[in-house]
Amino acid sequence: MVRSDVIGDPHGRLPSIHYWWRAYETNPTIYKQTLNIKASSHHLLKTSDGKVLLTYGDGAITTRPTKGLLISNPADVWNLGTPTPIYDLGTEDSANPSSIEMPNGTFYTTGINTKTRAESPYGGTLWLISSTRADYQ
């Protein structure tokens, strides 16, 4: 079982916390790791190969651009590499991602263009941004 949290910090300005435990144990030990990322509105997707795709709004940046990390060892200490930029609308809120994996291994991450129609002809629209495992290496 894996959980990431930003307890008491809905805007992602504090480091995120990763918890994990072995759910099949009667009295599982709960492990905790403070991550060196400021994740706002994160999403965890278990991939077909047992990894976890973590997508989140980067709370360390005013516009909260969406970034992603592919975690190869989700039920242990996370060794984070360099986050992969997914999208940045340049507004104060381009986070709240959610991701899916297609049968061919392509990931799609949602993004909402929070600009108004006056600012962008695509204001208020839902975007699907594609990525592959190679993008997270």
pLDDT tens-digit series, residues 113-129 = 888 889 888 888 888 99
Which is nearest to 51 in space by CA: 72, 67, 68? 72
**H helix or E strand, kind and range, residue 57:** strand 52-58
Length of the chain: 137
Q: What is the pLDDT of residues 12-69, one digit of tens each?
A: 566 777 777 777 778 888 888 888 888 877 889 999 999 999 998 888 888 888 999 9
* DSSP bridge partners of 55: 43, 68
Q: Does pTM surpass 0.75?
A: yes
Side chain identity at residue 88, one-letter code = D
Which of 98, 79, 97, 84 has the alpha carbon at shortest distance from 35?
79
Residue 1 is predicted with a pLDDT of 47
Q: Residue 82 in contact with residue 40, Cβ under 8 Å?
A: no
What is the spatial distance between Cα 66 and Cα 90, in angstroms, rounded to a whole number?
Answer: 11
C-alpha 96, offset from chain centre: 9
List the single range of 3-7, 69-73, 130-134 with lowest mean pLDDT.
3-7
Reported as a single tens digit per residue, the pLDDT across 66-114 is 999 999 988 888 888 899 999 887 776 666 789 999 999 999 999 888 8
